Amino acid sequence: MRKVAVIGVGCIKVGEHWKKSLRDLCFEAFKNALNDAGIESQMIDGLYIGNMSSGYYQRQEHLGSLVADSLGLIGVPAVKIESACSSAGFTFKEAVQAVASGMHEIVAAIGVEKMTEVKTPDATSALVMAADHDYEAEFGVTFVGLNALIKRRYMHDYNVKDEDIAYFSVHCHKYGANNPHAQYPFPIKLETVMKSPIVADPIRLFECAGIGDGAAVAILCPLEKARELIDEDRIVEVAGVGAATDTIRLADHDSLTSFKATILATKRAVSSAKITLKDIDLVEVHDAFSITGIISLEDMGFYKPGQAAKAAVEGELEKDGKLPTNMSGGLKSRGHPVGATGIYQIIEVVQQLRGEFGKNQVEDAQIGAAQNIGGVGGSVTVTILRRFR
């Protein structure tokens, strides 16, 4: 298997881009990634577009053709990859395989979601398509409703205080405040989280990722080619990729407080990277809700069940802590443009490994991981990236 490297990344600020189209978002992010890599667009010979709900929001499928055209890459093979909120994580995996197989040389993995075509209640209808329509959504449960069941059970099983879970949002906002592409780049107080309205008991508004638009691009090529194209100290190697599924229905999971797919995907990623968890210097986890970020850290194996919320409160997830977590601000503060999120995470890890993450730079970061969840744990990818020099 050919080794694969990331040679350029680019994105747009997550936000409500009412006046821009899905094409515009892709174009801006792609241009930024090209500039970052220092290559010409005509060198790209494969495109992967991660997206969940363009059929719903834009009444547009067939994004492969649409996006290739919008980027001036008519002719280049391009296809849409959908895996709910983990669409972009799986998109990156497909792009890695495209290069590793030898079928493609330089590939752009794009994640895009343009949610501000509709009002929030309608976005809720799009999001719940990540859950089981026939056995969950049809009966009226929302996506945050399913996650509320998880938080309730977690508090009960591990006797964890509501405030300690809510603190994860405070942690994320502290770092998101310094992220130029964050949707909500400001710190928040625990009191603010606790006093925010209940969306689905016991989840409060400020424990939820918001609704926003975004596009993020990573450019990949064989490691050997990367050495020809860019400075070696800017090369980030794809060390390992792991993916897994679980039942789409939450009620059928083995546990409400642990996502089996994260456990499996992490094992696969760590094993293919030939490292141990202790080698990981920083992590981006999928905190669609504060409880989701906490459970993710436990499922990945960094903390025992019931321990991660406390770790956040005690400062272990800080920049100079034991495991710097969500230095981007996470889904809560950077934002969660659904089908783009996984590539945002990868960009943030790449920038950390290149030492370009500004105020939130983790000192001497060598290896970083990004975990991206689809649905309530129905699909998960874990990507491990390593600094080449």
Q: Which residues bind to its own copies, rule: CB under 8 A?
A: 1-2, 21, 52-53, 55-56, 58-66, 68-69, 73-84, 90, 93-94, 96-98, 100-103, 125, 129-134, 137, 241, 243-249, 252, 260-261, 264-265, 374-375, 378-379
Q: With respect to its own copies, which residue has the nearer C-beta, 137 or 170?
A: 137
37 vs 131, which CB is nearer to its own copies?
131
DSSP state of 242: E
CB of 112 to its own copies, least distance (A): 13
Is 62 labeled as catalytic in the residue annotation? no
> 101 or 276, CB closer to its own copies?
101
Annotated active-site residue 336? The verdict is yes
| Catalytic-role residue among 17, 253, 286, 336 | 336
Active-site choice (11, 26, 85, 172): 85
Chain-centre distance for alpha carbon 62? 23
CA distance 51 to 216: 11
Contact 216, 87 (CB under 8 A): no
Least distance between its own copies and beta carbon 134 (Å)? 7
Give, in order, the Cα–Cα distances in Å from 344 to each of 194, 202, 246: 28, 28, 24
Residue closer to its own copies by CB (options 134, 228) is 134
Tell the smallest beta-carbon distance from residue 94 to its own copies (Å).
Answer: 6
Give the separation between CA 91 and CA 349, rounded to whole angstroms: 16
In the β-sheet with 107-113, what is the strand arrangement from edge to edge? 46-50, 107-113, 214-222, 4-11, 236-245, 379-387, 367-374, 282-284
What residues contact residue 309 under an 8 Å CB cut-off, 6+ apart? 160, 161, 164, 165, 167, 168, 294
Q: How far is the CB of 188 from its own copies (least distance, A)?
A: 30
Residue 252 main-chain phi, psi, to 5 deg:
-95, -5
The identity of residue 162, as a single letter, is D
Cβ closest to its own copies, residue 74 vs residue 198:
74
Residue 189 Cβ vs its own copies, minimum distance, rounded to whole Å: 35
The residues that are catalytic are 85, 336
